[in-house]
Structure 1
Amino acid sequence: MYSTASAQTPKSQNHISNWPPPMAEFKQDKTNVASGMALNDDQIYQWITELVSSPNREKALLELGKKREQYDDLALVLWNSFGVITVLLEEIVSVYPYLDPPNLSASASNRVCNALALLQCVASNVQTRGLFLSANLPLYLYPFLSTNARQRSFEYLRLTSLGVIGALVKNDTPEVINFLLTTEIVPLCLNIMEISSELSKTVAIFILQKILLDDQGLNYVCTTFERFHTVASVLSKMVEQLSSTVTANGLGNQHAQQGIQGQTPQPSSSNSSGRLLKHVIRCYMRLSDNLEARKALANILPEPLRDGTFSGILHDDAATRRCLQQLLSNISELGV
């Protein structure tokens, strides 16, 4: 059975964009094929010079951010160019004083998010990811993830910071999960899953799901009842919120009714709710791989996941329907 010892929040290591929404990068595993090499683009070096040693830094941040999808070696150029990472960190820490009390302007938020977009580029690259971790760079983002302010400037900041962490975890690298588990990322993601916008919630639970899919991550969450209960409680709240949304908007049977009437299901707000629900179900499913967690889930799994509340939203998502069926099968095997 679970230990009743208090779960300790993991201690952090030494603290020292014109960009696309992060979810666009998580929908597929394929890497965009670069049309050339940043190494051979003189304009890249011009903007790097502007970034490091001129008053035109804000423009340079924006222009370099535009090149992220064009060159898959941009991360290497950024990492190995003198002063670039220092400048990006300088941009990040410059807004710390505006986090508490919350007083971050839209322009300041946009500027630091452009710097974060370049860090995301470094975090995404297989050749620079390990260096990114060795330098403890993710820890610079945690003050942004810790904010609870609801203003748009803070929401954008949280979302962009989540995009950097999401870029780290999307390739299922054990080294990344091991690093994150020594930090406060799990409680930070859980808090965002409770208080942020739906898009930020979706990226945060994507990160949690990736952590759980790694054996280290599953063991970390299930080591004590307190950790498991904290995660399960947040997931349960998300299910209740999604259930309320389905009921209020009539999304539960929308696709089913359209199917009965021979209509083609139309895009609706169920799409975003469906994405969030998919991650919730997969997190529960992964938790059920742990025997003690499975026993607990048999008693506490939210009723909307059992009674068909989400059948309409999942109408066109066979993979998630199968995942939910397997989850229910797993907990029913215990005879509860």
Structure 2
Amino acid sequence: MAKFPRFPAVKPAFTGGAGRGRGGAPSSSSSSSSSSLPAGLGPVEPLLLNLLKRDLRANAVLELSKRRDHCVYAPLLWNSFGSITVLLQEIVSIYPYLSPPKLSLDASIRVCNALTLLQSVASHPVTRISFLMAHIHLYLYPFLNTTSKETSFENLRISSLGVIGGLVNGLAKVRDSEAIAFLLHSEIIPLCLRAMNNGTEIKKTLAVFILQKILLDDVGLLHICSRPDRFLCVCQVLASVVASLAEQPCARLLKYTISCYLRLSEYPRANEILKAYLPDMLKDGTFNDSLREDPAIFVLLRRLLNHLRIAAAPPSQSTGRT
């Protein structure tokens, strides 16, 4: 799984993996997958069975969430009988507490653990297309539409963005344009723009990361740039992110933001317009400290300014060094 902040007609559904089929019949690879579990972690099957027991479910979700980085668990989780249904039940069970906002922190943490498991499924190359075709990401949109500033709600928004970030990261790596187009039809861009406009640094970072991965695909770039209102809205929100970075620097967020601008500049009809909408802070040396600390950001910004044919340029990497 690639690193990122922690924070239907596309392809055939699930074609491989391990565990039980969606109908409950064991697959021939079940035993081999079980034997390949990471040493020292113990069998996962008892925890999957415990998901079906109400009194043991919360602990099972917690224990499974601790093992999400071991990719073998995503196919097991997807193909084990009832597991995904149980995780969705965990999610929808708190919908009544979203509006008016009265979600407890304990309930939020429990659902965030379930979202952690869904992130592993969304990120896995074997299960991500099935995850998308099942429209599971839509179950997270009510969380992203909340506005309460309480920690319980902010945690839900961050975890939900983590799931979608894992999904688009995998889709971008394999250049699955059909899947990106399918995701765009679910109005993911407005939700990302909302997260970029308001919220904590980690939430903004995740949202910009998602936008960047979508823009990397030609379908995503065309979706943004084909309509002036949509393009200008994205530019305005990116500018607000840049302004926030001037007050509270974050190298990772700055890198993702410049990457978005750079990709937008590659669309011929948008190039000249973007030149007028590029924030002055990206041209006047406001972020010199970040440029010196991370040479990769310096390279991205220089490429952006050169591509837009802007005379102003960031200082050389040696400027200000002692």
- Fold-level similarity (TM above 0.5): yes
Task: Say whether the 8 Å CA contact 1:168–1:176 is kept in structure 2.
Answer: no
Q: Quick check: 1:39–1:74 contact (8 Å CA) kept in 2? A: no
Paired residues in the alignment total 277
Is 1:88 aligned to 2:87, yes or no?
Answer: yes
Partner of residue 292 from structure 1, selected from 234, 244, 269: 269
Q: Is the 8 A contact 2:275 2:308 kept in 1?
A: yes
Find the aligned partners of 2:110 and 2:282 in 1 and give their Cα distance. 42
- Residue type of the partner of 1:219? L
Q: What stretches of structure 1 move > 6 A for 4+ residues in a row?
A: none
1:191 aligns with 2:191: no
Structure 1 residue runs of 5 or longer lacking an equivalent are: 1-20, 26-36, 246-269
1:24, 1:227 → 2: CA distance?
A: 28
CA RMSD of aligned residues (A): 2.0
The alignment-based identity, stated in percent, is 48
Deviation at 1:291, TM superposition (A): 1.7
Query: Which residue of structure 2 aligns with residue 208 of structure 1?
Result: 211
CA contact (8 A) 2:290 2:297 kept: no
Q: CA deviation at 1:167?
A: 0.7
* Cα deviation, residue 244, structure 1: 3.1
Shift of 1:53: 2.7
Amino acid at match of 1:137: I
In structure 1, the partner of 2:221 is: 218
The residue identity in structure 1 corresponding to 2:247 is S
CA–CA distance in structure 2, aligned partners of residues 86 and 148 of structure 1: 27
Shift of 1:169: 1.4
Cα distance in 2 between the residues matched to 1:239 and 1:133: 31
Point out the more displaced range, 167-176 or 217-226: 167-176
2:34 corresponds to which letter in structure 1? L
Report the AA paired with residue 284 of structure 2: D
Task: Work out whether residues 109 and 156 of structure 1, in 8 Å CA contact, stay in contact via their aligned partners in 2.
Answer: yes
Following superposition, the deviation at residue 330 of structure 1 comes to 1.7
Equivalent residue number for residue 56 of structure 2: 56
Residue in structure 2 matched with residue 143 of structure 1 by the alignment? 142
**Cα deviations by residue, 1:207-264 (Å, 9 ceiling, x for unpaired):** 000001110000000011000000000011111121233xxxxxxxxxxxxxxxxxxx
TM-score scaled by length of structure 2 = 0.82
Contact 1:169/1:210 (CA < 8 Å) preserved in 2?
Answer: yes
Choose from 221, 231, 235 the match for 2:234. Answer: 231
> How far off its partner does 1:104 sit?
0.9
Alpha-carbon distance, 1:205 to partner: 0.3
Structure 2 vs 1, CA of residues 24 and 146 (structure 1 numbering), >3 Å: closer, same or farther?
closer
Contact 2:34-2:43 at 8 Å conserved across structures: no
Q: TM-score, normalised by structure 1?
A: 0.78
Matches within 5 A, 1:136-175: 136-171=135-170, 172=172, 173=174, 174=176, 175=178
Partner of 1:23: 5
- Say yes or no: does 1:323 pair with 2:270: no
The 2-side partners of 1:39 and 1:162 are apart by 30
User: Which whole-Å CA distance do the structure 1 matches of 2:34 and 2:155 have between them?
Assistant: 31
Q: Residues 244 and 64 of structure 1: is their aligned pair in 2 closer, same or farther, counting only changes over 3 Å?
A: closer
Q: Within 2, Cα distance between the matches of 1:196 and 1:58?
A: 28
Shift of 1:176: 3.5
Deviation at 1:315, TM superposition (A): 0.5
- Contact 1:169–1:176 (CA<8 Å) still a contact in 2? no
Letter in 2 for 1:203: L
Quote the residue 1:257 is aligned against.
none
What is the Cα deviation at residue 333 of structure 1? 6.8
Q: Residues of 1 paired with 2:204 and 2:49: CA distance?
A: 37
Contact 2:91–2:139 at 8 Å: present in 1 too?
A: yes
Relative contact order: is structure 1 or structure 2 higher (C-alpha 8 Å, sep ≥ 6)?
A: 1
The letter of the residue matching 2:292 is H
SS in structure 2 of the partner of residue 238 of structure 1: helix
